[in-house]
């Protein structure tokens, strides 16, 4: 049981480093809502352990690596989504001028 916990912790460290390295060299930033980032990171960790790659947790893994490699985070679709919506499908990456949605009343 400890091995699984240790593996999750190690994968989380690696994924967070990858994400931080990516935003440092891109025009994007991580969502300022840390709960969203933590949720997506957890999904990336689980998929990395299950499938061997950090597949986007918001997309369906088909089991065909040639198709699935497009959804390894950061996925092939995030740039277009951020350009169009200000955030990627998972809400992990956001534009530099991103304004959080009004969450009043939640």
In terms of Cα–Cα distance, which of 70, 93, 73, 81 is closest to 18?
Answer: 73
Assigned CATH class of 2-94: alpha beta
CA separation for the pair 42, 33 (Å, rounded): 15
pLDDT digits (tens, 9 = 90+) for 51-100: 999 999 999 999 999 999 999 999 999 999 999 999 999 999 999 999 88
Choose between 105 and 10: higher pLDDT. Answer: 10
Q: What is the pLDDT of residues 2-34, one digit of tens each?
A: 688 899 999 999 999 999 999 999 999 999 999
Contact between 82 and 28 (Cβ < 8 Å) = yes
């Amino acid at each position: 049981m400890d091995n699984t916990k240790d593996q999750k912790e190690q994968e989380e460290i690696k994924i967070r480093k990858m994400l931080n390295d990516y935003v440092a060299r891109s025009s994007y930033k991580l969502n300022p809502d840390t709960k969203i980032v933590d949720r997506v990171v957890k999904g990336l960790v689980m998929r990395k352990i299950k499938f061997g790659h950090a597949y986007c947790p918001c997309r369906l893994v088909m089991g065909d690596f040639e198709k699935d490699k497009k959804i390894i985070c950061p996925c092939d679709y995030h740039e277009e989504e951020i350009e169009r919506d200000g955030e990627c499908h998972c809400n992990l990456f956001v534009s530099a001028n991103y304004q959080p949605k009004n969450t009043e009343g939640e």
